[in-house]
């Protein structure tokens, strides 16, 4: 009974005779299980609720969130840290769109993830009949992700998910969208029929080797360099090639400079680390080898401050990345692991032409910069109230003494200053807002990192950044994850004391656009039953953070900074030029 409209073959009350018969939801859960997916992040509701139960039933962990976008950030982080797709489950319409933000962000960042979303019957969506949560999700997702699949029938599910898996991890990794129509989810098929459809895809990530001539050329250029450097991008962190990079760097004495999320691929404090010499590398190197990184806005597009005579070697799995902003002298297109193997083999018996003065100059520059930096932290340590540097004078040594803790980091000043202050020693231990420099990834990424690795996580959050995802602190507590959230609270975007420049007294009553709440975020801990601390001094912060990390439990620490601590972050000068009025003081 209860057929809505026979034209659409939509039956609402078909109950399977389990176990001889199964629903599409069950097929979905079984397929994930058999593909080796052990965790799904999501937020359920019609039409995917039963799918989540089925996942738990077959032994796939379901981590339930408060906001789809954060579940998606968790899946993306899971993908980055494990090289397997993180999986996100969302409901139709708004749930789908909330999740899609994260799937698009994952695609931009080359993290493998699969968003599976319940969807209204596409035949009815296409006829625009005013369906429940009607939205053409398939075509909405298409321009924002790497690949899209639509399951119209339960029998489509095993193939769609296996192909989605392959699409997400192969070549340049990224986000994949699978539209799971309610028809497919609810359809009942014989278990024996389903059984025939499951399969294990062969070589689901098949690494592609570079052309040997390109390797030869790259080695010629590298060995002829007088002032070489290696730029390590987060693609190298993702590819898990730290041993090979270490061999290249140490055997041939090549200085290295990591991008933010590549910090720790090789230790930030290593002898050949040029992390404090970014501008020297840009201005003075003659050959820079980019490993899994992009010459995008974060690297001034390879122009401007860069040595105009620079020869770039770029190793990347994506051919279309080559020559994007500057011509690449020696492109090596292929999987980083195989490419580095080939480069190391080709290097055998060859010597570098490095000017010894180059290494000496970088080493002494590093000393000078580090001393300056240390002085900045020391002089801030005693400030009352604290600023970002005071807080970091405590956070830095504690995190550096706990190198296996994964650091999640977002904010404006909180992002910039924490990245600069805290050295990383292990690969894939720093997750931040990455290529789009977004805010609103914190709780999701912290959860994904903790779930995917079982490791302790510390999220250093600006108060504004925390606001985007704060409600999912409750997911940290519900799942009792070993996550400590530290909020650098200066009460606003940039800081609390923004000026509303209006002269109209009515408009003037509103806070400045940058001004947020200077309140007690630690009280989230009270609401959700987690350890919590409110700290106003470096001594209090030290005790609270050490205790929190040692506890291995959910913790939230509100670090109360001076309301004027922080400035409008000025890393993109042309987008935040000196204003006519100083709005920030």
State which of positions 472-491 bind ligand ADP (CB under 6 A): none
Q: From the CB of 493, what's the least distance to Mg ion, in Å?
A: 6
Q: From the CB of 222, what's the least distance to ligand ADP, in Å?
A: 17
- Only one of the segments 43-51, 289-297, 413-421, 512-520 lies at the binding site for ligand ADP (rule: CB under 6 A); that segment is 289-297
Dist CA 271 CA 219 (whole Å)? 23
Q: From the CB of 318, what's the least distance to ligand ADP, in Å?
A: 4
What does 336 bind: ligand ADP, Mg ion, none (CB cut-off 5 to 8 Å by kind)? ligand ADP
What does 294 bind: ligand ADP, Mg ion, none (CB cut-off 5 to 8 Å by kind)? ligand ADP
State which of positions 501-540 bind Mg ion (CB under 5 A): none
Q: Does 560 bind Mg ion (CB under 5 A)?
A: no
Dist CA 462 CA 415 (whole Å)? 8
State which of positions 468-507 bind Mg ion (CB under 5 A): 490
- Structure-block tokens of residue 199: 């399969």
Q: Does 24 bind ligand ADP (CB under 6 A)?
A: no
Q: What is the DSSP string of 199-238?
A: ---TTSS-PPPPPHHHHHHHHHHHHT-SSEEEEEPHHHHH
- Say how many residues touch ligand ADP, by CB under 6 A: 24
Q: Does 321 bind ligand ADP (CB under 6 A)?
A: yes
Task: Mark 241-270 with x for binding to ligand ADP (rule: CB under 6 A) and - for no binding.
Answer: ------------------x-xx--------
Please give the sequence-ordered ranges of beta strands (E in DSSP) within 308-375, or none if there are none: 311-316, 330-333
What does 463 bind: Mg ion, ligand ADP, none (CB cut-off 5 to 8 Å by kind)? Mg ion
| Helix (H) or strand (E) run with residue 66 in it | none
Dist CA 89 CA 21 (whole Å)? 24
Q: Does 417 bind Mg ion (CB under 5 A)?
A: no
- Structure-block tokens of residue 101: 């933000």
Q: Which of 158, 292, 470, 492 binds ligand ADP (CB under 6 A)?
A: 292
- Longest CA span, the chain: 84
What does 490 bind: Mg ion, ligand ADP, none (CB cut-off 5 to 8 Å by kind)? Mg ion
Rounded to 10 deg, the angle between the 413-421 and 388-401 helix axes is 40
Q: What is the DSSP string of 249-301?
A: HHHHT--EEE-GGGTTSS-TTSTTB-GGGHHHHHHH-SEEEEES---SGGGGG
Distances from the Cα of 284 to the Cαs of 82, 255, 311, in angstroms? Answer: 36, 13, 11
CB of 330 closer than 8 Å to CB of 311: yes
Distances from the Cα of 218 to the Cαs of 164, 246, 322, 339, 445, in angstroms? Answer: 34, 18, 14, 10, 36
What does 110 bind: ligand ADP, Mg ion, none (CB cut-off 5 to 8 Å by kind)? ligand ADP
- Structure-block tokens of residue 59: 């032994």
Closer by beta carbon to Mg ion, 403 or else 563: 563
Closer by beta carbon to ligand ADP, 74 or else 317: 317
Q: From the CB of 459, what's the least distance to Mg ion, in Å?
A: 14
Cα-atom radius of gyration of the chain, to the nearest Å?
26
Nearest Cα residue to 51 out of 73, 78, 32, 77: 32
Q: Is the dihedral of CA 5, 8, 12, 13 positive or negative?
A: positive
State which of positions 110-129 bind ligand ADP (CB under 6 A): 110
State which of positions 423-442 bind ligand ADP (CB under 6 A): 435
Q: From the CB of 378, what's the least distance to ligand ADP, in Å?
A: 30
Q: From the CB of 464, what's the least distance to Mg ion, in Å?
A: 5
C-alpha angle 519/520/526, rounded to 5°?
Answer: 150
Closer by beta carbon to ligand ADP, 50 or else 335: 335
What does 24 bind: ligand ADP, Mg ion, none (CB cut-off 5 to 8 Å by kind)? none
What does 474 bind: Mg ion, ligand ADP, none (CB cut-off 5 to 8 Å by kind)? none
- Only one of the segments 60-68, 221-229, 310-318, 405-413 lies at the binding site for ligand ADP (rule: CB under 6 A); that segment is 310-318
Long-range contacts of 464-468 (CB under 8 A, 24+ apart): 464/411, 464/412, 464/439, 464/492, 464/493, 464/516, 465/410, 465/411, 465/412, 465/414, 465/415, 465/433, 465/439, 465/440, 466/442, 466/521, 467/516, 468/439, 468/440, 468/442
What does 311 bind: ligand ADP, Mg ion, none (CB cut-off 5 to 8 Å by kind)? none
Q: Does 317 bind ligand ADP (CB under 6 A)?
A: yes
Q: Which of 294, 311, 429, 496 binds ligand ADP (CB under 6 A)?
A: 294
Closer by beta carbon to Mg ion, 387 or else 490: 490
Q: Does 293 bind ligand ADP (CB under 6 A)?
A: yes
Nearest Cα residue to 225 out of 334, 333, 315, 307: 307
Q: Does 172 bind ligand ADP (CB under 6 A)?
A: yes
Residue the block writes with tokens 């340049």: 172
Cβ neighbours for 242, distance < 8 A, ≥ 6 positions apart = 236, 265, 266, 427
Nearest Cα residue to 472 out of 175, 177, 98: 98
Q: Which of 227, 234, 456, 496 binds ligand ADP (CB under 6 A)?
A: 234
Q: From the CB of 321, what's the least distance to ligand ADP, in Å?
A: 5
Q: From the CB of 245, what's the least distance to ligand ADP, in Å?
A: 12
- Structure-block tokens of residue 67: 């906001």
State which of positions 445-464 bind Mg ion (CB under 5 A): 462-464
What does 462 bind: Mg ion, ligand ADP, none (CB cut-off 5 to 8 Å by kind)? Mg ion
Q: From the CB of 104, what's the least distance to ligand ADP, in Å?
A: 14
Q: Which residues bind Mg ion (CB under 5 A)?
A: 462-464, 490
Q: Which residues bind ligand ADP (CB under 6 A)?
A: 109-110, 172-173, 233-235, 238-239, 259, 261-262, 292-294, 296, 298, 316-318, 321, 335-336, 435
């Amino acid at each position: 009974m209860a057929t809505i409209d026979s034209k659409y073959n939509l039956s609402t009350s078909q109950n399977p005779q389990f176990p001889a018969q199964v629903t599409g939801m069950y097929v979905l859960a079984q397929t994930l299980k058999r593909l080796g997916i052990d965790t799904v992040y999501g937020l359920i509701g019609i039409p995917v609720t039963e799918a989540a139960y089925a996942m738990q039933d077959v032994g796939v962990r379901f981590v339930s969130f408060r906001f789809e976008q954060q579940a998606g950030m968790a899946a993306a982080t899971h993908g980055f840290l494990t090289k397997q797709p993180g999986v996100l489950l969302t409901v139709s319409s708004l749930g789908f769109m909330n999740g899609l933000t994260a799937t698009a962000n994952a695609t931009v960042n080359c993290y493998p993830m699969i968003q599976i979303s319940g969807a209204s019957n596409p035949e009815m969506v296409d006829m625009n009949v005013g369906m429940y949560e009607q939205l053409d999700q398939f075509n909405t997702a298409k321009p924002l992700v790497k690949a899209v699949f639509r399951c119209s029938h339960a029998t489509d599910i095993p193939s769609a998910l296996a192909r989605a898996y392959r699409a997400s991890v192969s070549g340049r990794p990224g986000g994949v969208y699978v539209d799971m129509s309610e028809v497919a989810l609810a359809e009942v098929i014989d278990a024996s029929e389903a059984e025939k459809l499951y399969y294990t895809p062969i070589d689901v990530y098949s690494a592609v080797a570079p052309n040997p001539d390109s390797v030869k050329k790259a080695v010629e250029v590298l060995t002829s360099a007088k002032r070489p450097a290696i730029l390590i991008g987060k693609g190298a962190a993702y590819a898990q090639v730290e041993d090979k990079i270490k061999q290249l760097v140490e055997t041939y004495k090549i200085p290295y400079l990591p991008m933010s999320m590549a910090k720790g691929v090789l230790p930030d404090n290593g002898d050949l680390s040029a992390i404090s010499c970014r501008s020297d590398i840009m201005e003075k190197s003659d050959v820079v080898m980019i490993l899994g990184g992009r010459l995008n806005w974060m690297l001034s597009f390879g122009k401007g401050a860069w040595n105009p005579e620079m020869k770039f070697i770029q190793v990347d799995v994506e051919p279309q990345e080559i020559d994007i902003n500057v011509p690449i002298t020696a492109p090596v297109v292929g999987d980083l692991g195989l490419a580095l193997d080939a480069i190391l083999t080709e290097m055998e018996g060859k010597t570098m032409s490095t000017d010894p003065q180059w290494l000496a100059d970088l080493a002494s520059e590093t000393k000078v910069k580090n001393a300056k930096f240390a002085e900045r932290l020391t002089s801030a340590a005693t400030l009352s109230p604290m600023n970002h540097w005071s807080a970091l004078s405590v956070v830095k040594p504690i995190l550096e003494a706990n190198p296996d803790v994964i650091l999640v980091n977002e904010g404006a000043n909180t992002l910039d200053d924490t990245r600069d202050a805290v050295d990383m020693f292990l690969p894939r231990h720093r997750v931040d807002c990455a290529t789009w420099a977004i805010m609103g990834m914190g709780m999701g990424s912290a959860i994904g990192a903790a779930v995917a690795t079982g490791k302790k996580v510390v999220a250093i959050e600006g108060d504004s950044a925390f606001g985007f995802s704060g409600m999912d602190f409750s997911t940290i507590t519900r799942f009792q994850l070993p996550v400590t959230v530290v909020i650098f609270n200066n009460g606003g975007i940039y800081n609390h004391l923004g000026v509303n420049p209006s002269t109209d007294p009515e408009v003037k009553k509103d806070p400045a656009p940058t001004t947020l709440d200077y309140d007690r975020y630690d009280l989230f801990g009270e609401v959700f039953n987690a350890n919590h601390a409110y700290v106003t001094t470096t001594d209090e912060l030290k005790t609270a953070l050490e205790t929190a990390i040692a506890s291995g439990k959910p913790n939230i620490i509100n670090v109360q900074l001076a309301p004027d601590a922080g400035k409008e972050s000025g890393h993109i000068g042309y987008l935040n030029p000196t204003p006519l009025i100083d709005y920030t003081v």
